[in-house]
Amino acid sequence: QVQLVESGGGLVQAGESLRLSCTFSGRTFSSLGMGWFRQAPGKEREFVARITWNGGSRYYGDSVKGRFTISRDNSKKMVYLQMNSLKPEDTAAYYCNAGSTFSGPGQYWGQGTQVTVSS
C-alpha cells in the first residue's frame, strides 16, 4: 500500500520561496519516478516537475523552469519541491505523485497542499 503525504504549503508574497515535502509510505519508493502536479480552481491539472527513480534526470513544466527544483532522498523516502521567485499564478493545490513517467502521472496521489502567492 502506497501513501503520500504532502506538507509545506502556505501563504507567501510574490518573490518569496517555499519548499514542499512529500513523505512516501510503502516498499517501492526507490524504484519509482516521482512527480509534482498542481491544480488551480477552474483549471486543469498541470505538470510541475518529475524526477527519475535515482534522481539522475529531472524534468520541469515550462512555467516553472528556472524557478523550481525537484529533489529526492531515497534513504528517507522523501521528495521535495523547492519553489523560488513565486508568482501569483503559482497559486494552486500541489500534489505529489508516485510512479510518474514521461507518459504521465502514476496511480498514487497525495491529498495535496495549498500554495497561495499574493501580489
Rounded (5°) CA angle 39-40-46? 35
Residue 53 pLDDT more than 90? Answer: yes
29-32 contacts: CB < 8 A, separation 24 or more?
29/74, 29/77, 29/98, 30/54, 30/74, 32/98, 32/99, 32/100, 32/106
Q: Write down the residue that cell numbers 519553489 correspond to.
A: 83
| Cβ partners under 8 Å of residue 66, min gap 6 | none
Which tens digits make up the pLDDT trace of 66-81? Answer: 999 999 999 999 999 9
pLDDT of residue 115: 98
